[in-house]
Chains A and B, each alone.
Chain A
């Protein structure tokens, strides 16, 4: 069974810092991996989706990397802003979408 770990569970940084969120997974035979953002009391918003054949995916200040062989993905946030404060979840997929496994997330607080 796929196990997904996100470290750290919580992170507090001053505004403007660059930061890295980590995601590790035990089954490397993934089809793709998604990074989501969840604001308090809200649903999940997809940030980036990396296909298994890709190494990186970028959107604005966000860059996600994938190393399938080592079972790791990172989400890099450049020049963090208070509006980036949220919980970030990673979710690798094996096979159909019923085989998506979610991590428990990293709760990020960006202090003005």
Chain B
């Protein structure tokens, strides 16, 4: 009963390095989301995928790319990391917008860019 699984849990990057954050859900959900959480700012949506094969920008997409690999997996890529991308990143999923059901979150990836 894993729910939403994120890897890695922690990561330290140097400015300019790249990395991919992985997210997988085992609930057969259609929609998946990437958020970042910064102190005093609440969670902000980076990108989302309403269904397999589609992706759209959220509130703060600059500097990120995403791939919906299949129905289970949704990855977030930082091509050239910057200190401003130091944050905690959360992946979430739902059955879809037509359902009145809660968002399910992973435990997050804590990223530091030096």
Determine whether the beta carbon of A44 is less than 8 Å from that of B50. Answer: no
A side interface size, CB within 8 A: 25
Q: Which residue of the partner chain B has the closest CB to A100? A: B103
B side interface size, CB within 8 A: 26
Q: List 23 A-B contacts (CB under 8 A).
A: A4-B42, A32-B100, A34-B102, A36-B105, A41-B110, A42-B107, A42-B108, A43-B4, A43-B107, A45-B105, A46-B102, A49-B101, A51-B100, A89-B42, A97-B31, A97-B97, A98-B45, A98-B56, A100-B45, A102-B42, A102-B43, A103-B42, A104-B40
Which A residues contact B (CB, under 8 angstroms)?
A: 4, 31-32, 34, 36, 41-46, 49, 51, 89, 91, 95-98, 100-105
Determine whether the beta carbon of B90 is less than 8 Å from that of A44. Answer: yes
Are A96 and B100 also in contact (CB < 8 A) when A43-B90, A43-B105 are? no
